[in-house]
Structures are given as structure tokens and as C-alpha cells.
Amino acid sequence: GAGVSQSPRYKVAKRGQDVALRCDPISGHVSLFWYQQALGQGPEFLTYFQNEAQLDKSGLPSDRFFAERPEGSVSTLKIQRTQQEDSAVYLCASSLVGGREETQYFGPGTRLLVL
């Protein structure tokens, strides 16, 4: 694929429901990032993978949030027992190796609404 893809694009969940958001990075990109963007705000870092290793999960808001990338390509962000404050756009980004001068390419995002 030409870019980062994410699915679903939109998700409506009832409070308390579990959700899983998928990210397909650019082929060959070692580094993968998840961000959360609330309405009217910039993206906030959630977690970082290099291949299958989760090197930083300091931005995950609570232990209800869990991310994995078991084979070093596709990643899934899982939110358990969703709350209304989890409503946001979840963005996935990838870069070649994760260096400080590298471009992070963003996917279209998953817009999550928790009712």
C-alpha cells in the first residue's frame, strides 16, 4: 500500500464496551506510533513500537489501553471498558527507523465515539 491505513474509520461504542483499532503501516517501516487527538487539540503520544518491541508506552492514559504489534507490521490498539473520555481520533503513524529527523507518516485515523 502507498500509505498508512487504519480501520475502522469510525467506531461508535457503548460505554463499557471493548474496542480494537487496527493500523497497517507503510511496508518496510520499522517504527510505529499511536497518538490520540481530542477535538481542538494536537495529537498526544500514546505508544511507540520498533518492530514488535513496544519501547515506550508512557502515554497510554490508563491500564484499559493496550497495544500490540506481534509480527512487527500490523498493530492493534485495544481499549477495554470504554469511557466517554476515550472519545477522540486515534492516529497511527509510521517511520522508517524512528530517527529524530525522520518524517512520521500519519494514517487517516479512527474516530471513536463512546456513548
- 6-16: burial string, b at 16+ Cβ within 10 Å, e else: beeeebebeee
Judging by beta carbons within 10 Å of its beta carbon (0-12, 13-18, 19+), is residue 87 exposed, middle or buried? middle
Q: x/- string (CB under 8 A) for another protein, residues 14-53? A: -----------------x-x-x----xxxxxx--x-----
Q: Which residue, 14 or 39, is less far from another protein as judged by CB?
A: 39
* Shortest Å, Cβ 46 to another protein: 10
Q: Which residue, 27 or 58, is less far from another protein as judged by CB?
A: 58
| Range 42-101, binding another protein (CB under 8 A) | 42-45, 48, 55-56, 91, 98-101
Q: Is 108 in the site for another protein (CB under 8 A)?
A: yes
* Shortest Å, Cβ 36 to another protein: 11
| Unique residue bearing C-alpha cell 481499549 | 79
Query: How far is Cα 73 from Cα 28, in angstroms, rounded to an integer?
Result: 8
| Unique residue bearing C-alpha cell 497518538 | 35
